[in-house]
Amino acid sequence: MPRPSSVKDYIRTIVDFPHEGIMFRDVTTLFADPRGFRMAIDQMLHPYAGQPIDKVVGLEARGFILGGAIAHQLTVGFVPIRKKGKLPGTTISEEYKLEYGEAIVEIHDDAIQPGERILVVDDLLATGGTAEAGIKLIERLGGEIVGCAFIVDLPELGGRKRLEEMDMDVHVLCEFDGL
């Protein structure tokens, strides 16, 4: 079997997960391979090389894995945006719509200082709802978003367009057609 040559080659597709008709893009196979994982982190960082970044924000949950590695490479702090009820301190929250209901994400109210430059990361950009909620939280704390980096974009779901309409710089490593 030939060695994968792009980040996309490391990503496994699982048919009908978590529901029939869904093509789940599983990045755990990418994370498990040291060459693939390094390639993804390096490529996510590349457009932001040389830009001042104060913190990396990772969206729950796979964004924590990516965000921690990217923050380490940049020698900056890491901030998680979590599902409601998972952070122990005082938080602010943002509600957003999912295709099957609503959800709430939270951030510590002291995690970002006004004027700090933030890079937002996650594994997958679908409808953009979680990312938009995270962006709103960061902006409420006074953070300035440098960009949003994702491994996978599902263009048919419109997340990239949604974030770009918010004047966000969006960087993705690969795209997959279908849901």
What positions carry a catalytic annotation? 62, 99
Cα–Cα distance measured from residue 150 to residue 124, given in angstroms and rounded to the nearest whole number: 6
Under 8 Å between Cβ of 150 and 170: yes
DSSP 3-state of 112: coil
Rounded Cα gap, residues 46 and 28, in angstroms: 22
What is the bridge-based pairing of β-strands 101-108 and 91-98? antiparallel
| Residues 86 and 129: beta-carbon distance below 8 Å | no
Residues composing the chain: 179
Contact 109, 79 (CB under 8 A): no
Q: Please give the DSSP secondary-structure letter assigned to residue 141.
A: T
